[in-house]
Structures are given as C-alpha cells and as structure tokens.
Chain A
Amino acid sequence: MKWLVSLSEKEQRMLIILFILLVAVLALVGLIGLGVKKIMQFQSRKVDEGMSYLVTTKVVKDERHFRRLARKKNYRLVFAQYFFPILIIGLDILFIFLYVELSGDQAIIQEMFSYDARGVGTLFFVFDWANIPRATFFGLSLPSDWPPILNTPHFVLAAWPNYVFVTTAFICAIWLLVSTQAFIARSWRIYKKSRTIFIKSLDSINSLDMINK
C-alpha cells in the first residue's frame, strides 16, 4: 500500500478514474449479457410451442425421437427466419451491381466506407486514432485525450447508393445475427429438454405406497 501513498495527486485521481471506468465497462457488458440471455430464453419458447403437444399426447415417447423431430422443426424455423434477410441482401447486391453497370461508375464501390469522398464514413465522426495524444503512466504509454477529428457527420447527395447499400446490408446482418442467436437458443433448449423430459427416476417412487394400495 506504500506505493499508493507515494503517488502524486494527479496519479491518484487518474487511478480512481481508471477504476471507475473499468467497473462501468464491466457492469455494462454484464447488463448486455443478461439482456441477451433474457432474449434467448424468450426465443427458445418456440420449441415449446412446436413440441409440447406432441409430448403431452405421447406421440413422441423417447429422447431420440424428440430430438430428431425438434431438430427438423428448428431447421424449418431457421429457413423461415433467414429467408427475408438473405432475400433483401440479394436485392441489395443486385441494386449496387445494376447502379454500377448503368452509371459506369466503378469508383463508388472503392469509396464505399470513405469519409472524404462518397462513402458512409461521411455520416459519422471519424477520429485519427493513429495520432491519439498519450501520457506515460507507471511506465505505460496510455491514451490521455480524445484523438483529433478527421470528419464530422455531413450528408453527401452523390453518396446515396452507398448509403442505401451499406445501411440495408447492416440491418440485414443484424437480422441474420438475431436469427442465428434464436437458432442457438432453440438448439440448446432442445438438447436440455430432451435430457430431462423422458428421464426415468426412482426418486419419486415409493414401493411401499404401491403395496399399501
């Protein structure tokens, strides 16, 4: 603890800020993780919808049968949920392809993410991370300030094909990821439930009760 006392006031303040930042980041990640977990629990309910009446009517009587049928139904749901994002991505690619073919403007593809031409980068703050100000702290070179700004958000009319293409592709990518998350959630529930539904347990059986009856 002696080293803590020997620190200058500036260093102590910096240490406290770093600690608070670390705790805030960990808490935020923990919250996001809990949120994702809750969403996955909600998504996995589709398995119950499709399989519960098959188990209660005893059409499905064993673990292997349950898992096989549930997997088939899961694949159907994957197909249904992937269909629209993949279709939209396909149309999106067709759109940019047709635009380049009709206008003969190949450069728009190369400028897709640029901030100083006709890219989507024009819509965002762009920082010069390579030249971020640094300070030495305990022998470590750490960032000490925000980096210089290279671009502030501004609309470029000539960049509209890239705006449309990248935005649509981004939305579809998120859509696909959420569908994949649902796929994982359902697969996990199928596996877990198949192990517990048809379990033959001696714990609930009392043979003396049966004899007395």
Chain B
Amino acid sequence: MLQFLKLILFGFLYIVLSPVIVAVLALALAYGLIVFVLLFLKSIVLFFGGRTIFSDYPEDIAAKIILGQIRDSGSEAGTVK
C-alpha cells in the first residue's frame, strides 16, 4: 500500500515537473545537435588527415600500458610459482 502511494506521489510529481523535464530534454537535444555538428566537421578534417575521432586519448594509452604491465607481472609471478 505504501509502495502504491509512493507510486502515485511520484506520478503527481512527474506531472507537475513535466514542463521542466520537456525543457531539459529540448535543451539537451539542442546541445547534442551542436556537439554533433562540431564533431562531424572535426571528423571530416581528421578523415583527410588519415585519422578518426574515435582514436584513444593519451590517458587511455597510458592506462592500457599500466594494465599490460600489471598483467605481465601477474603472469610472471604465476610462472615463478
């Protein structure tokens, strides 16, 4: 019963907040479209440079090297045993 009352309360809250929710969604959509256009232009420029926007960031490369080292040291420890 308490759960059902909570559900009704949430329903009321969502109805009251629906204009705000729609506004946030519209703003995020507009922002997302701007991001899309900018990244699309960037991807065209990178494409002619032989690169892609989906390549790893320096941080990703560094993290992968560290993970590789951990994995290697782990397997070495395994062979010693």
Partner-binding segment picked from A2-10, A100-108, A127-135, A173-181 = A173-181
9 A-B pairs with CB atoms under 8 Å apart are: A26-B7, A29-B10, A29-B12, A79-B43, A80-B54, A86-B36, A177-B25, A180-B25, A184-B25
Q: With A29-B15, A180-B28, A184-B28 as given contacts, are A57 and B8 in contact (CB-CB < 8 Å)? A: no
Contacting B at CB under 8 A, from A52-98, are: 53-54, 57, 59-60, 69, 72-73, 75-76, 78-80, 82-83, 86
Q: With A28-B11, A30-B10, A76-B54 as given contacts, are A54 and B25 in contact (CB-CB < 8 Å)? A: no
Contacting A at CB under 8 A, from B1-53, are: 4, 6-15, 24-25, 28-29, 32-33, 35-36, 39-40, 43, 53
Nearest CB of chain A from residue B10's CB, rounded to whole Å:
4
Q: In the bound complex, how far is the Cα of B36 from the Cα of A184, in angstroms?
A: 15
Q: Which residue of A lies closest to B69 (CB)?
A: A57
Nearest CB of chain B from residue A116's CB, rounded to whole Å:
31
Is residue A21 contacting chain B, with contact meaning CB distance below 8 A? no
A79 in contact with B40 (CB, 8 Å): yes
A59 in contact with B66 (CB, 8 Å): yes
Q: With A57-B67, A72-B57 as given contacts, are A176 and B29 in contact (CB-CB < 8 Å)? A: yes
B35 in contact with A79 (CB, 8 Å): yes
Contact with B along A25-64 (1 / 0, CB 8 A): 1111111111000000000000000000110010110000
Q: In the bound complex, how far is the Cα of B71 from the Cα of A57, in angstroms?
A: 12
Partner of A53, one of B25, B53, B67: B67
A78 in contact with B32 (CB, 8 Å): yes
Q: How large is the interface on A (under 10, 10 to 19, 20 to 34, 35 or more residues)?
A: 35 or more
Q: Which 5 A-B pairs have the closest CB atoms?
A: A30-B11, A26-B11, A29-B11, A30-B7, A30-B10
Contact with B along A148-185 (1 / 0, CB 8 A): 00000000000000000000000000001101110110
B: number of interface residues (CB 8 Å): 31
Partner of B15, one of A26, A79, A82, A184: A26
Chain A hits for B10, CB < 8 A: 29-30, 33-34
Partner of B35, one of A23, A25, A78, A177: A78
B32 in contact with A31 (CB, 8 Å): no
Extra inter-chain contacts (15) besides given A28-B11, A33-B14, A76-B54, CB under 8 Å: A26-B11, A26-B15, A29-B10, A29-B14, A30-B6, A30-B11, A33-B13, A57-B66, A76-B53, A79-B35, A79-B40, A86-B36, A176-B29, A184-B24, A184-B25
